[in-house]
Amino acid sequence: MFEYVESAPEEALVSRSARGDEQAFGVLVERYKGMLYSMAYRLMKDRGRAEDAAQESFIKAWAALPGFKGESKFSSWMYRICYNTCISELRKKRPEVELDEAMGVGVEGPAEEFRNRDIQAVIHDEVSRLPDDYRAALTLFHFNGLSYDEIARLAHKPMGTVKAQIHRGRALLKARLLERVGWDNLKEVMWQ
């Protein structure tokens, strides 16, 4: 049997998958699982639910692939499926999840030795506390690298709303970073 290499061109893998080639689809899963899982995790803030959502996204993609006409990039198409899966999961009534330990970080008072890594940890933690809409918009923009226009179409929102959510999200993060760490600690790290 023909063995697919990691570097096989995406169009070939996509069209073979559309015809039911599971091996070709396996390569696409390997290639996109990290992105989809990370995206789902950032949207849902829970590892178990993120894995389920990413898995569901791949299964949906497999079923929908014969209808994929290549009008958009395959990556954008996958992100769309994953986004819709996560959003519909988020809308379901669920018990409020505890933040995963990896996302949370405690910054207690002025730290002896505060590092760049800690600043990032605080920002990541604050991202997880943002309203779902803001977090989704920021994830799609910064992590998935989508444009305002692409996000607007994906989320069925006016572009102005998307821009405003991204801007407000960043402003909130900046304010919370300053509040939690304090300028004296921050400037030592930033301007060392």
Partner 1 sequence: MNCDEVRRSVQDYVTRELAPDDRRRFDAHLVECAECQRELALMTAVVSTLDHQPVLEPSADFSSRVLGSLSRQREFAPSPWWSLALAPLLAGAAWLARGPVERALETISSRPGLIHLSVPAVSLQQAGIAAGAIVVLGLLVAAGGAVFCWQTYLRD
- The footprint of partner 1 (CB under 8 A) covers 15, 19-20, 22, 25-26, 29-30, 33-35, 37-38, 41-42, 50-51, 54-55, 58-59, 62-63, 66, 119-120, 123-124, 127, 138, 142-143, 167, 170-171, 173-174, 177-178, 183, 186-187, 190-191
The distance of closest approach from Cβ of residue 87 to partner 1 in the complex, given in angstroms and rounded to an integer, is: 19
Which burial class, exposed, middle or buried, applies to 56 when counting CB atoms under 10 A from its CB (0-12, 13-18, 19+)?
middle
Structure tokens of 136? 């989704």
Is 154 or 169 the residue whose CB approaches partner 1 more closely? 169
Is 113 or 191 the residue whose CB approaches partner 1 more closely? 191
Is 56 or 93 the residue whose CB approaches partner 1 more closely? 56
